[in-house]
Amino acid sequence: MKKHDNIYANPLEKVADFTFDESVVDVFPDMIQRSVPGYETIIHTIGELAKSWVSEGSNVYDLGCSLGAASLSVARATQDRKCNIVGIDSSGAMVERCKRVVQAFTLNNPIIIEQRLAQDVTIDNASMVVMNFTLQFIPPSDREALLKTIFDGLNPGGILVLSEKIRHPTLSGNEILIDLHHQFKRDNGYSELEVSQKRAALEKVMLTDTFNEHEQRLKSVGFSDVVMWYKCYNFTSMIAVKP
């Protein structure tokens, strides 16, 4: 049973910056599903992509794995071949819970969960790297170097699946997408107060880029093609291909 997210249901005197602590871990599956349009579709599609792109004997990395949803989707999709799946997350509370979650499944390929900053990870012999709504939490000044590390560690023909909340380049256009997203959250049972307190909590923690910024940065580190395969409001998922 998913625990209901009501972290921001009561008025707070001061809204602290959002962190992935124990209270967030407790309600995370409910929170992400009610907050990110298309989350289940994206998790499912990561598995579909793994079927086509994960090669025999290679490694798959899930950076910012939270409770392992993307890692598990890859593991379910790759039962017919050998690969290692490595989930990395910087939050100790997430990692502890994620280890328990993945242990509950019996799958052919191992899922190794490690507490680490994505910026410190070593990527090697990878056919697929997933960053499902993680890069947006990484300091902007670290983003290009991390993408270069990923590019260098991917085998030729490998892919990065990068899902991000993006910013529309015009203020008025961005407001249209933000309003639609807030409507989506209200439809999923979040109150006006919850929506506005969460927005304040994320303001300094989640720093979004435009699609053009993502595309240019991915190409500048060497990716040959950047394919936006999903978009709903300001939520997107891209596939970047290493030639």
Binding site for ligand GEK (CB under 6 A): 20, 32, 63-66, 69-70, 88-91, 94, 117-119, 132-134, 137-138
Backbone torsion region of residue 46, taken as left when φ is above 0, otherwise alpha when ψ lies between -120 and 50, otherwise beta = alpha
Which phi and psi (to 5°) does residue 119 adopt? -65, -20
Q: Which C-beta is closer to ligand GEK: that of 157 or that of 180?
A: 180
Q: 146: helix, coil or strand?
A: helix
Q: How far apart are CA 157 and CA 78, in angstroms?
A: 18
Q: Which residues contact 198 (CB under 8 A, 6 or more apart)?
A: 7, 8, 18, 35, 190
Q: How far apart are CA 163 and CA 236, in angstroms?
A: 6
Q: Which C-beta is closer to ligand GEK: that of 38 or that of 222?
A: 38
Nearest position to ligand GEK, beta carbon:
64
Q: Which C-beta is closer to ligand GEK: that of 83 or that of 88?
A: 88
Q: Which C-beta is closer to ligand GEK: that of 117 or that of 195?
A: 117
Half-sphere exposure of 219 (CA within 13 A, CB side): 10
Q: Which C-beta is closer to ligand GEK: that of 17 or that of 56?
A: 17
Minimal distance, residue 65 CB to ligand GEK, in Å: 6
Do 114 and 95 form a contact (C-beta atoms < 8 A)? yes
CA angle 45, 48, 51 (to 5 degrees): 155
Half-sphere exposure of 153 (CA within 13 A, CB side): 20
Q: Which C-beta is closer to ligand GEK: that of 120 or that of 152?
A: 120
Q: How far apart are CA 106 and CA 121, in angstroms?
A: 26
Minimal distance, residue 154 CB to ligand GEK, in Å: 18
